Amino acid sequence: MTISEKAAYLKGYMDGLELDMEKPEGKMIERLVDLMCDMAKRLSDVEETTIAISDELDEIEEDLDAIEDYILDDEDDFDEDEDFGDDDFDEDEDFGDEGFDFGDEDSIIYEVKCACGEVINFDEETLEEGSMECPNCGELLEFSLEDEEEE
C-alpha cells in the first residue's frame, strides 16, 4: 500500500468513526489527517519528479557514453604499432625561443635548407611575407609563391 493510499484509508476511517468535529479532539484528528493527506500528495510529487530526473540522467549518461565511444574510436584510428620511443626525442634539443606552435591541424609547415646548412621550418604566414632571416647565419632567405600557384 502506498503512502497516498494509507492516508486515504485513514481519512475514510476517520469519517467512519463519526467523530464530533465541533469538539477540539475531532478538529485535531481531522487536521492531522488532512496534514497527512497533503504530505502524501507532496511526497508523491517528489517521487514522480525524482523518477523523471533519473530518466533524464540515464539519457545524459547514454549520450556521454556515445561521445566517449566516438572520441575513443578517433584515437584508435592512429597507428598503435608506430613506435614513438625515447630515441626519437632529445630533451636537450633547443627549439628556439618560440618553440613549435602548429596551430590548427590544417596548417602546413614548410622546410628550407640555408646555404650554411641550417634546416629551417616555417609556416604559411612566413611564406606569404616572402622572406625571413636565417637564425644561424643571418642570411636573408626569399620565397616565391609563383611555383606553388602554377601547380
pLDDT band at 76 (very low <50, low <70, confident <90, very high): low
Contact 118, 137 (CB under 8 A): yes
In a domain, 39, yes or no: yes
Domain encompassing residue 133: 107-151
Cα Rg, the chain, nearest whole Å: 39
Domain boundary among 55, 76, 97: 76
In a domain, 84, yes or no: no
Residue 118 backbone dihedrals phi, psi, to 5 degrees: -70, 130
Number of domains in the chain: 2
pLDDT digits (tens, 9 = 90+) for 9-33: 998 988 888 888 899 998 999 999 9
In a domain, 95, yes or no: no
The model carries a pTM of: 0.41
